[in-house]
A = this chain, B = another copy of it.
């Protein structure tokens, strides 16, 4: 078995999807590629649950975050950035980079965004142009209430921007139903394609703002993406990552074959199983459990161990790659990504590796106790 990649993205990619990249490069402005691009965008819109078009960007999730803001911002515009983790902070930094006036609404890392506070802040700042929120905070394993935030925003002019990079395909995201104006995602998380692509979809209201705003970026100027995509055959403004689009196309077909609802259910079971398993081993979940993510579980490091020792042992001796904490959580938590293709098999391997490592580090562990929880959840 190769090293098992259990980080919260990039995730392991199936041979079927990798093999799609063996097809040679074609003219990126020809009919054959136009069809693939169109089909990929269409399936992406279905997964976003939107009637609007989706655009595939040659760049990672951060490129899509940049595209979301740099196309709607005028100097000094107020942007409400909901921040309860690293990616929420990133939206704040991007806002500032492009001359926006960031109004950060910060919550403790590990807690979800508080609806009442958002409501208040919106009422105090009627001229807020857009609100950014990260649906699934990969850094803390917290899921933010994007449906409820959408309801509040129904009563406000502000555009609603949601980062669904590490949730789309693994948790419920209903762009049109939730009133999301700009939604972004990445190829390398729950969709289980290789990293390097991201996608973005915009509502008519968002397009109105984009069309009347000079893009603050050239590479990610969405007006150009829209224009190129309306050509016959559809194109991208600059050379796209042809091979990765082959792979994403195949990965999205896998999502369709599994069925989006089934896929989300599988992710949810993986999350429940992971939490039960690590708790059975005496470990402590980092975030509030009721807002814990479907796609990544953040866990306090076992008392008395260092991140290097704990994750190093699991990686080197037991062949499982876990993620550490980011920023001030470095050395305090570790994270298990259970997104993409993860089933009971990968979780069994992962939990067994954690059990053996804990035993070796001197913890009083009843071997198999964590693994049994994985099996119980998946047999239910």
The complex is assembled from copies of this chain, and their number is 2
Contact between chains at B21 and A195 (CB < 8 Å): no
User: Smallest Cβ distance from A92 to chain B, in angstroms?
Assistant: 11
Q: Is B24 a contact partner of A239 (Cβ separation < 8 A)?
A: no
The listed residue (B24, B90, B214, B243) touching A196 by CB distance below 8 A is: B243
Cβ-defined partner of A243 (8 Å) among B12, B221, B242, B243: B243
Specify which chain B residues have a CB less than 8 angstroms from the CB of A188 in the assembled complex. 25, 239
Q: Is the CB of A218 within 8 A of B21?
A: no
> Of A55-63, A171-179, A291-299, which binds chain B?
A55-63
**What chain B residues lie within 8 Å of A216 (beta carbons)?**
97, 216
Q: Can you list 10 contacts pairing A with B, beta carbon distance less than 8 Å?
A: A11-B25, A18-B24, A58-B63, A59-B59, A90-B218, A93-B218, A195-B243, A196-B244, A197-B241, A243-B243
Tell me if A217 is interfacial: C-beta within 8 Å of chain B.
yes
Contact digits for A357-379, partner B, Cβ 8 Å, 1 yes 0 no? 00000000000000000000000
0 or 1 for each of A50-82: is its CB under 8 Å from B? (1 = yes): 000000001111110110000000000000000
Closest to A11 in B: B25
B contact residues around A243 at 8 Å (CB) = 13, 18, 21, 194-196, 243-244, 247
- What 3 A-B pairs come out closest when comparing CB atoms? A196-B241, A194-B243, A62-B238
Bitwise interface map of A from 1 to 44 toward B, beta carbon under 8 Å scored 1, else 0: 01101010111110100110110111110100000000000000
Which of B2, B62, B238, B247 is A24 in contact with, Cβ under 8 Å? B2
Which residues A197-250 have CB closer than 8 A to chain B?
A: 197, 214-221, 237-244, 247
Cα distance A376–B11 in the bound complex, in angstroms: 52
Among B26, B194, B217, B241, contact of A60 (Cβ-Cβ < 8 Å): B241
- Contact across chains for A242 and B58 when beta carbons are under 8 A apart: no
Contacts of A13 in B (CB 8 A): 24-25, 243
Partner of A9, one of B10, B26, B94, B239: B239
Distance, CA A15 to CA B7, complexed state (A): 30
Q: Which residues of A contact B (CB under 8 A)?
A: 2-3, 5, 7, 9-13, 15, 18-19, 21-22, 24-28, 30, 58-63, 65-66, 90, 93-94, 97-98, 186, 188, 194-197, 214-221, 237-244, 247, 321, 323
Complex Cα distance A7/B66, Å? 31
A218 and B27: CB pair below 8 A?
A: no
B242 touches A10 (CB 8 A): yes
* Interface contact B218-A62, CB-CB below 8 Å: yes
Contact B19 A219 (CB under 8 A): no
In the complex, the answer to whether A27 meets B196 with C-beta atoms within 8 Å is: no
Contact pick for A10, options B11, B28, B186, CB 8 Å:
B28
Q: Which of B97, B197, B237, B323 contacts A217 (CB 8 A)?
A: B97
How far, in angstroms, from A247 to B242 measured CA to CA in the complex?
13
Interface centre among A13, A27, A188, A243 (most CB of B within 10 A): A243
